[in-house]
Structure 1
């Protein structure tokens, strides 16, 4: 019967599951399926990749083929589509409960609607909630998280820890009230050592700190300083780590730890377009891994389980996605200079309206742009998907010295968005700023400039601490996406949309 059962699973799943489809006894194996940074991508994206119902097909298939399967999410399951903007995490929570996640950790965007909303949703999660390096005593999250869990598999055991980023500088301060951050490397090493001393055979760190070169610390820093961690399942940097891609420059998945031993570091990218699979032989501690694409080849096997959950919410989402408000003659890809420049110039224009005076420059963060704009009709929902955050536009006065300090931080981030009258050159290796001009003139340390940006950045977030040394002159009563919707509907964005600027305004030389 076992051979027939597996044959049926393989026939349904197709060759993509070749490694899972065998009749071997795998009771001494642990198979981990993992996601990160799915960002409310309930439906397939505009390139027909991803989708929660498709992910469910893969999860069910792997569970059917293996004896010991766990499903883990490494944070930022929310924020990035209308499902979150409209329903505040409810859809994502229901879908992930239905999928049967075993472990979930916090990302930074889980905090976007504040602690009360976060506690409300996470109290209803079925998964084990891990946080090893947040002290939540006295906060609304107290009692919801544990520092580690242990899974027994036969005579072996595997411990799991959860390592989070420092919220300061990336999460709005009011949104993480009561959360006390503990050094992640120290917490990871101490909890991993404790688990190993108690007889755990392997330790897996589930992290939301980024793969490498992140502010503070990263998965590679955890790996380099670790003695007792065997596998790192990461998120935050949206890094695609494909264990089967050995080309030069591709992120490495097998890296040395503090003892010179090789450990595994995995991440799936973002938006649910891949599902990660890790197969651990607990007898030998050998690890194999792969990325499984989530695409349309799965559509004829999609069941009704996820659709029944999503259907009541989809009607309102589709109404907003179908409400036409304007037209774009060109496509603006999310990460393109054209899109970053479009939003930067829009912020400067609105800033001048708010202050009643010309604005010297504007700054827009790339991370605040969450989706692309297709050529053709523009819908209300599309605009909200592009700029889903509850950010306002602000105008501030800032000294040239503080502005230059902030530009140096933006250079260290490989550039951010600035208005069309600004040009910044920086060294690609050192990130040192070589020149910074406004209207062709070098920024003067002693001069005061009028700057338009969003209130998230004005508060020093995205690590733009120097912006806190400014004076706020004006603030929009509407959030960014509502202003954009109004601009498009009134034709006030038509000129910018018709003239895409491909120039990198902040660029290395």
Structure 2
């Protein structure tokens, strides 16, 4: 699928998929546990809403509105996690002036749980990214960027574990190749590793080693490309075994609802991306029965 450059003007569009053969009706009764995953991607330093005179996105977006939505959903379901799929930086004068400090401080105020790293997050170089790390109370996650022998060594985790209402969630991150996107002087000695190989290692460790009930990938690979050799979220979903949800970024793809792909085990994988600039907030609700079988529904909320 090519990049879809449109905004859904409905408040929410939903999809329902059974994971492990569980239907929504069977998990909506007593004993079901509900986990809510909220997510953004490619916000690109857009702090304020677009002006009402904007030709494409009039009066849309803004981090204050997103904060209200997140608070409302957390009040509805305290079992909520909030993630970002990268490209936090670059796009407005806020980044040019503050260098990412404001973005990290505001995301921290929203209590983001983790983000992966996008190519534009290197725009002030690896030293510029390091300088902003003290302002982030959330974890930076990337499994295929090797920061050994760089100033960022030890500051980026390959994955993070969360225990929410007895449900164990493993989250790993993947970043895009630097070639053609980030110059060597910016990423310096950072090593890019094959995302498919790393994903298989990560999901195996999370599912079999850590015994996670849910495995999530924060990806900045891009949704899909015409070139089948270029790594993408769609390919990742089809090549993995244990990843349940891929939260994507980079291609600014506006999906009305999560895409459903089939993995190597023949199970459903959700792939979602909510455009760019903070115009939408992604929401995925997972329902677990007493045996921790799961089903999920997804919505894209216009901010």
| Smaller-chain TM-score bracket | 0.7 to 0.9
Match of 2:284 in 1: 278
Distance 1:273 1:233 in 2: 16
Match of 1:163 in 2: 174
Distance 2:117 2:29 in 1: 36
Q: Find runs of 4+ consecutive structure 1 residues off by over 6 angstroms.
A: 23-27
Q: Secondary structure at the match of 1:86?
A: helix
Using a 3 Å threshold, how does the CA distance of structure 1 residues 114 and 260 change in structure 2: closer, same or farther? same
Q: Secondary structure at the match of 2:218?
A: strand
With the length of structure 2 as denominator, give the TM-score of the two structures.
0.84
Distance 1:83 1:27 in 2: 43
How far did residue 153 of structure 1 move? 2.4
How far did residue 214 of structure 1 move? 6.8
Match of 2:46 in 1: 41
Using a 3 Å threshold, how does the CA distance of structure 1 residues 231 and 74 change in structure 2: closer, same or farther? same
Match of 2:216 in 1: 204
Q: Secondary structure at the match of 1:204?
A: strand
Match of 1:31 in 2: 36
How far did residue 25 of structure 1 move? 7.7
1:62 to 73, 81, 91: 73
How far did residue 259 of structure 1 move? 2.3
Q: Secondary structure at the match of 2:246?
A: strand
Point out the structure with max Rg over C-alpha.
1
Work out whether residues 27 and 67 of structure 1, in 8 Å CA contact, stay in contact via their aligned partners in 2. no
Work out whether residues 11 and 302 of structure 2, in 8 Å CA contact, stay in contact via their aligned partners in 1. no
How far did residue 122 of structure 1 move? 2.0
Work out whether residues 253 and 264 of structure 1, in 8 Å CA contact, stay in contact via their aligned partners in 2. yes
Matched, 1:256 2:262: yes
For these two proteins, the number of residue pairs brought into alignment is: 269
Q: Which runs of 5+ in 1 are unaligned?
A: 1-14, 244-251, 295-509
Matched, 1:223 2:237: yes
How far did residue 158 of structure 1 move? 1.1
2:252 to 231, 238, 249: 238
Match of 1:446 in 2: none
Q: CA RMSD in A?
A: 2.2
Q: When you count helix as a share of all residues, which structure comes out higher? A: 1
Q: Secondary structure at the match of 1:123?
A: helix
Distance 2:116 2:185 in 1: 20
How far did residue 16 of structure 1 move? 5.8
Distance 2:166 2:82 in 1: 21
Match of 2:63 in 1: 52
Q: Which runs of 5+ in 2 are unaligned?
A: 1-9, 15-27
How far did residue 27 of structure 1 move? 7.2
Work out whether residues 27 and 68 of structure 1, in 8 Å CA contact, stay in contact via their aligned partners in 2. no
Using a 3 Å threshold, how does the CA distance of structure 1 residues 214 and 207 change in structure 2: closer, same or farther? farther
2:131 to 120, 126, 149: 120
With the length of structure 1 as denominator, give the TM-score of the two structures.
0.51
Could you say which structure has the greater relative contact order, defined with CA pairs below 8 angstroms and 6 or more residues apart?
2
